Every structure is written in C-alpha cells, then in structure tokens.
Structure 1
C-alpha cells in the first residue's frame, strides 16, 4: 500500500514514429486520521454552584489537524467554536448565561473537526452539574443553647450533621473568634470540643456559632446557631480584625483598630492589648466596648503568617481575664501575566476573523478568583484554575471593531485576602493585506526562442516589509526571492526550466505575506512563442535564371512561411 506523503505518478507515451514523451504528477497520500480530545472541564468534570455562575473554559488537544482548523463543541443543544493552535491545542468559552440553563444532571459535550483532506473526527466528554449546596446542622448546645457556670467549667462539645456532603469532608466551626475543625464521619455527623478556658474568657453574653463545610464538588454550605453564656462570668471578646481577620498588603501599611466588648468589667477598667511584642492600653467604655489604635509603623512590623492578639484585664472582683484572637497576615506578592496574543502579539486579518484566546498565569492567587480583562473597550471575566492559569476566548464578533495599529490589553486579579495585581500587554493589529505586482516580462510579455535560451528575469514590487519572501510560480515550479528595502523584488528563472515551456499563454503568479501573516498574490500572463518560423522562397523568373530580357524587367520574389502570423514582416535581401 501507499505510505503517507507525496507520491509521483509518471506517464510516458511513444508514437508510431518512435518519438517518446513523458509527464509526471504529484499526489499527496494522507491517511492519518485526525483526533480531538478534551482536557478536564472545570478541573474535575464537575460544575459546582460557584463555577456555574462564571464563564466556563473548555479546552483540549488535537492531532493531524492543521493550525486554524475549526473545532465545534456542542453543549445542551448549542454550538461553540474554537480553532486549533500550532501545537494542536484549542480553547473556547461557554458564557455563564448559557450555563444558567443547565439543570442538575450529567451532560455530554461533543467535539467535531475535519482535516484538510476531508477526514472527520469527533469525541465527547461528560460534565456533571452539581449546584446543590451542602447543609450544616448544629445541634442544641448544652441542652438549651445556654451555657451556665457548671457547663463553662466542664467545656462544651459542639456537634451536628451535614447533608449533600461526604464522610471525610472538613467542617470548620467558629465561635467567639476561635476556629476549630472536625471531620465528617460515616454517619455524616461531626463534633469539636471547646475548652473551658476559652468559654471562661468569652464571658457572659450572646454568641453566634457558625459551621461551614465544602463537599467534594466544591459546593459550600454554612449553618448557624445562636447561643448564650450565662455564668455570671466577666469576659472579654475581640471583634473581627480588618473586616476578615486577614491583614493584606494594603492594610499592612495602614493604621489599624483592634476593638472588642467586655462583660462584667467596670467602665474605665484598664486593658492591655499585646500584639507582636508591643502593648497598647485601651480602657473599657460605658457601653462595655473598648478600642486600641495600632499605628501603621507597628502594623507594618507584623510578620507574615498567624499573629496572636492577646487582651488582658481584671474583673471588678480583681480576678484576671485573658483572651486571645488570631489574625492572618498575608503579604504574598500577587502577580498576573498575559501570554502573547495570537502567538506573536500581532493580529492579522485571518486571526481577526476568528475567536481570540487570551491566557496567562497568576502567582499567589487561589483557584476560582476572578480575572478581569479589558480589551478594545470591552470587559471580560474568567477565573483562575487550580494551576494558577487563566484563559478566556474573545468571540470573533468582538474583534471586528479592531482598527489597524498598536493597542494594549489589561488584566487584573485579587486574591482571597484582598491583595491585587494587574498587568498589560502591547499588541498590534495588522489586518491590511500587502500588495504585490509583476513587471512586464521579457520587455513585451512575450518569450521568444532567443530569450528562452537565457535565464529569464522576473521582477515586481510589493508593500510587504523588506525581507519578506516572494514566491513566483511558473509552469508548476516555484522560485523565491525577498522584498528589498525599496519594495522591489527580482529573481531569475533558469533557461533549463524555460525549455519545458510550450507555445501559448502561461500564468506567472507571485505571492507574498507580510510579517503579520496577511497574504497577497498577483497573476501575470506571459505569451510563449519559441517556435522559429520557416521561410520558403518560390522559384524566381520561372527557372531561377534571370536572362537578358528578364534582367530589364521587374521581378517578383515570393514564398511562404510557417510558424508566422499574417501581418508579420518578411525582409528580403538580394545580392547583399
């Protein structure tokens, strides 16, 4: 059987006189079947509640498909298109508005493509849509949701159950600024122990207990229960610091207020707030609240990681009270970058007519965080994946308004702790095709027998950049040269190649692409007349002898010619 590649078909024929002629023709054999495949969708082929509310990136790879081949993906009856890159990868974006119509079910995505010789391929991937949030139930605390003195002294177990979550999932319980974790058991129950000293330090008053769980599909649910401590205990509490108990890069350079409440402490009671080895001295106000101002110079000295805030004071009876509160300092430098647009940061006409894949990388940004993209006056959003990468496919319709020239794209991102970064990338649009022309060939666009004995110069001009390759095709052969600084180009066709030309009209084609990849071509007709005419002279004076009488008369010189056209000039020379 024939192997893939170029196969030459040769044919020869011999006439009755023994003259033999031959010819060749190249045929391309391409039996390599194309393939197309999906990458994991949304990292785990599951679309959770958060992911369903965002644009969805669908990507994959291919083989035996030329760069620029269209891949069509069908989801829930709608078609989305992408084009293959040079490395065979492809990517597209399904808008969040389309995802909103998906129900709780498993969906099949189908991808189809056809290569240049008509071989088609398809593949599918399954996507489970699970947007059902788990629920967390907190059981009644201390029997009646009121913790008395004896129950404070014994410590308390907080427990509950979950639904739409699995054994092994983690439940995070928050109470009075303290956080505890539990593992969901096989019966979907969980429990954590809150020690006596923590309850004692919290003192009398109402408290909210919250429990949060995230299931294996990434859906998060929270439960809450209101309780109270009624133990005739004085106590101190610290409010949430910096809004979320996280000090980010911006807050790390600012003044910060640490505040809280008290119970059973007289107004005016002196407190000591200790942070990072430094003490601050607020007092209890009439309403039981207190505030300590931490100057920016001190805040900026807080180390990255967990910083403990301790608050101490004495009750009216002179008994010491101490409570601690953990704050996370996140100074991680957030960064975001943009990969080259259209592989070379130049969008040509073909690329302007196709979807444009934007992508990049983030540093110290959590999966699921939003990346905001600004391109050509439009705003797009996508999310960071588990590897810190991001991608978004800009539809071709949005690129139609791009004008030739330089422009830029900007992106920004913020991590969960509020640290942000932005970046820009310059690109250019060159959707204008260059021009190419072919000058008159052989001075009159006619190649005669004499001219065919020498190399033939073919020249022209082009508006493509200097150094761009011009390809000239003549009689099935290609010749190349480059555009010079003044826009001209020239090359020589060897005389040996001209020998294969037959009389008639042939087309000379010149093609060129500019640096942006925009193609242009021009055709030029060349008349080939390499047959030398034959001239026959008829007999002169009846016998080719001019006698005395004929010598005194005018004589007619006549004849015929083959290989010449009516009107061609015949020159007769007699006697030099």
Structure 2
C-alpha cells in the first residue's frame, strides 16, 4: 500500500493531520463527536464500506483495511467523511444495505481555489495520470470538470487526445503517525483556522495543468490552476501563449486547430508560472494529438469482378467489407439507404444491404463508407457500382403450334417450329420438352427455333416450351408455353375372343354370336375384322369398345383365323391390334399338388419365398388360379403341367385358411374348376425371455428361459462371426415356469448367445443375449451378417454390465425377416446409441414401458425406458 494522508477537523475548527505509513495492511483512526475526516483517496480506491458496531470499516482494492473507531454516534453531532485527491473534495454519504454493508454516495465536488471552509480538507496529492476524451467540434463538446481528477487529461484537435499530469502542489506528508503493522494511526500536527482576510503566501507558487481539451469554435483549450495573479506561459508545438491566473486560482489558454500538425503523434506541453514575488514553477508533460482516421478501406467490390449488381445478386443482398482504424464507427450509404456497419475489435467492418434496399432498374450508384474514430475524426471513401436488374424483351408466339397446338406422329416426323419475338440481335435459348436449341432474333426482333423429327419424343404428353434471354449483366428473362404431343393411339387393346381366342360351338351361338371387344383412347373410332367379316365400333367415355359378329358371319368348322382392330384417335394417329382365333371343343384332366410342404401349412419362411402351386391339365389349356381373392394365370407346358407362384407380397400375414380356386379352359373353351383350402401360419412366436444364467470362472455354464410351447434352441456367436448351436441338456422347471439349458461345454467369456423359439409351422424368432465378460462397457455392434438367419427380434442386455449397444438402420433390418421392430431390454447402466433415430413416444408392453424410436424410414426400436439412449 502507498502512504495515505488524512486530516481531522473538529467542531472548533482545529485541524489534525497524519499519515497511514506504507507497509501495513490495517489501520485504526480514532474519531470523536462532530468531526470531519478527510482521506487522501479516490472513489476507485474503495472495495467496500461496512459498519461494525459504532466503527466504520473501509476496505481498499489492494486489501488494506482502515477502521475509523467510534465513527457512528447518537449525540446529534454526527461525524462526516470526505475523500480528496488532485485538488477535489467529495463528501461520502453512507446508506445501509444488506447485512452490515454500506452503499457509498459521493456528494458534489468542491475544488481548491478561492478560500473555502473546505480548503483544510483538500489534497493535491495522488496525481496518477488519467485520460479524458473530448472533441473539438463545437460548444456541446466542452468537457465538464465535475467528478474528474484535478490533474487529468483531455482531447486536442479534431480528434486528438492529450494526457496531462500534475507537476506541482499537493499536501505535505507530516511526520509521526502509525508505524507499519501498528493498529492505530495518530494525527501528528494540529493547526487552528485562519481568517479569509489573512492567508499566508507560499514561498513557492503552485501550478497545475488540469485539462487540455477541444473547446468552442474549433479550438483546443488548456486549463489549470496556479497562484492568483501570477503570470503563466504555456508552450505547445513551439507556440507560447501567456495568461494571468484568475483570482479564483484558475487559468486557461486556447489554441487554434491549425496550431497542430495533422496526424497521430505526441508533443510536449510546458507551463511556466511566475508569481508577483518573482517565484517560478514549471510543469511539463506529453500531449497526444490525433487529427485523422488513419485507415479506411474497402476489401471487396460490390457486384463482384464486373462491379455490376444483377437481379440474382440483388436478391441475395450486397455485403461490403473493409478495414478501419480500431475503435472507429463506420456508416455505409448506397442510394437513399445508410447502414451502420458492424466493426470488430480489430477494425474489420461489414455492412449488408438487404434486397429491399436496392431499387430495381438500370442505373449507376455510389457506395460511400464514412468512418468516425474514437477522437471524432471522420473520413470517407467511395466506390462506384452499376445496378442492372432488368433483362430485355421476350415473347413466345401466341399462334397455335401445328395449327391446333397438338403435334401428331405425322407432324413430328416433318419437324416442328417454335417462334416468338425478342430484342433485335438477342440470342434466345429455346427448350422444347428438354431439347435445347439456340437462335438469334432478326433485325425485326423475330426468332424461330426448328426441331427435327428426332427432337420430338414419341408419346402422349404435354411438352413444356421455355424461351430465355440473358443480358450482359447476367439478368435472365424467361417465357413459358406448352404444346400437346400425341404421336400414338393410347390404350388400344383387343381382348381375347371369348376369353381365350377360341370359339367353341356354344360360344358361336350364345348371345347372338361372337363378341369382340377391347379398349382404345377416348375419342377414337375402331374398325374390326374377324376372318372375312367386318364391323365398326364406338369407343365409350371410358375407352371401351365392342362389336358383335352374328353366327352367320362366323363359318362353322375347325380352323384358325385372325381378329384385327384398327383405331384412329382424335389427333389422326392410327394403330392396330390383332389376335389369332381358334374355332372348336373339351377339358380332360385338372388337378393340384398339395401346397404347404409335408405339413400342409405355409409358414412365414415358406411365404417369404412365395407359394408354388402346380398340377396337371389338358395340354393346350389355360389355367387361372384364384388365391385369397386374387387371380393368377398359370404357366402350362406342352405336356399339360401347370404351375404358378403366389408372390410373397400378396400373402397376408397371420393364421388363417386361404381359398384356392383353379379354373382351366381348354383350347376349345371348355371350362373346369377345382377348389382347395391351404393353411397359412406366418406369425412367429415371441422371442424367448431369458430368466437367468450360471457362470463359473471361465464362462457360462447354463441359462434358464421362460417355458414355451415352441421348440427352443441355443446358439453361440463365434469369434469368426459364425453361429453354431450349443450342445446342451434341458430340464423343465415347472415351479418357476422355466426351461433350464445345461451346456455340455462352458461357453467362454466374451461370447454372446442367441436363443430361438420355433413354432409348429416352422416360424421362429430369436433373442440376442449379451453376456457379461467381466469388463465394464461391453460394446455390442450388430453388424454380423449371419444374424439374419436367426430372426432376432429382442436384444437382452440385462446380464451384461454397463453394456453399450450401437445400432444403425441397416443393422436392424438385417436382424429378422419377420419384422423391422427390435425390442431392447436392460438396466439403467446400459446405453444404446442410435445412429439416425428419432424418438416418437412411449409404449407399455406386458407391464414394461418402452421408449419408441424410428430408425431410418423402416426400422422401429422399442427400448426399455431404464436404458440410457444417445441419438
């Protein structure tokens, strides 16, 4: 701690002075009733104020503790506390807050000068250098002296700064007082008050430079204090001004801004005082001058390399960046919009003009960046930019393409032309159904783009037409249209005559003759021939048509003929379809081999491969199999063997009886049917529930599983990822409703097991049992491709200490062909990491609450809510 002076003045005006000597960390100043106590300290020196009984305890920021003994009293004559430094005096008001703490409030500042009753309490000492900023721009920028150190600093010029320190004055440190480490500080000198009419002159005059600041009318004003009536010479940058100290002890001089060189630099300020007795005193210090913004640049060009802002760039907003003197502010103006730039501590600035700040059109604009530094200096820089957000003229001709806005096959074959208008000489890019051509508008602004037969894809569709022009600034204008392309007759079909292209005797006579039918594009007309007979048909509103040939138009006999239909659509396109037709009679044999394997039951595994139905029929017959409400046409070979496969996706899951109907139509149209019922059972049993395991020093000796009507088996996952069945003896424990598996050989530590349940239909599901390998943080990754054959639907982590399971969608989908849902059981010390999962809610199953997660687009995870989950 530095030496601290203090003064005590009693009610009679007697003054006692003393010091708190350097070196000690705590002091006691005794107080009486009605005293004024002034400490040579600043506000910033205090850390806290507290009341301890009647004592005032002051803690400084350096840890020093000053106790004013008996400061508080109830006599009606309270003590008053002041702090003084650099010629200023503040009274300290103390307000009780929480606990013993006090809040300090500092009263108005009193300044040394003309004789005042407070002069005994004022100190000039502790004149550490301080910095005060100001400006030299006008009256409103004059710097106040209140609450500032007497010996301080200010600003010079349009933005320069100056630092001025005290050079003379201050209170002397009197002898005596407390020694370092002593508990009590005792005042050492006592004086009595003197009359204002009889001051004692100092043998050496005092002088202090109190402030150098930008003042009124663009001048720099230096003020200070000294001996009243004395002459003071102030020299700055070789220019000396002389003034007289006023009667109140203050003086000031002003310098025009032109007295200082432009730039950022330091210069000497010297004050010399000569009193009326010829005594002199001199003060000097360094003055910092700042009259310019020393850096302001653009780091980029608006509109990029071509200095042009086009439509796309304007739509994204325009960002300007640059650098400036650190601590400055920057405003950026473009057109009627001015933005305050963001400036980081290193002086890098940026400002972004939003799309709405940039008016559309074609025009030149200037971007002006203006910086103001901490000293108030300003500087501007400008860059030019061209704004062009308008493309040229463009139309697509309104005249119908190919006269009716429909391109048929004949028109496509001889080429198609698309035309329009644009600015003369403009390059127009034309797209017809994805085929791009380029053309140029002639002197009249007309353009035409030609497409060859190969450019127009065959089919029935709407072809989008796009025309685009791009100007030199990169602006584009696009016009669109469309044309209908129809180069084929859609939906033309010829149904088999009488269902099988065979007409027998009954069919020839039934319902007035032979019906020929089919479909065609609506709006078409059809002409049908059967042998040598002809008939015209009408296509109805949904595209169906039919014609009847009377018995007299179909000669009797056994022969082959042809049915031909020719359709003409509304666009003029034509198409034909035909069938060979047999005119004849009988069905000999029709049977079905038993489906479902040896047990006549289709399991989930068998259903996953599809159900093969087969049998025998008369050679040349057509067989249609109806399975569970859906018809399938069988394949019949030359020997009459037929077969058909019901695809897996058409076999409903569940346990039910599926009806099968086989209808055979021979080559003359005779029909025979056969009905059959097949048992379907695709529901897999629930995954086995593991109840316990038994281990010895080297591994696992046995496990117990909840009893089941299904066949249970245990498999071991080997180190090479192969999976083998574990040889074991089983024992049913009906008391516990468990099946015990006693392994013939111990399953070694580090191995995992799969316990499967298989029902009578051959459906199976497996539980993956993660075993404790006597090390925490067991990591389980389900990437073994061999797991798929065991239909794993449950992961059991409860017997693995601090197990960690990591699973992806691909791994989950590989585990089972039965379902894409995986159940994970475990405890709170287990963790499941889901890669790409999303939590969707909870579900209670058999009394256990599970957190539900979607894994990818297909997988579902049900995780015991005790387990920690990382997504």
Determine if the TM-score, normalized by the shorter chain, exceeds 0.5: no
TM-score by length of 1: 0.44
Q: Larger C-alpha radius of gyration, 1 or 2?
A: 2
Question: TM-score, length-normalised on structure 2?
Answer: 0.31
Q: Which has the higher contact order (CA 8 A, sep 6+)?
A: 1
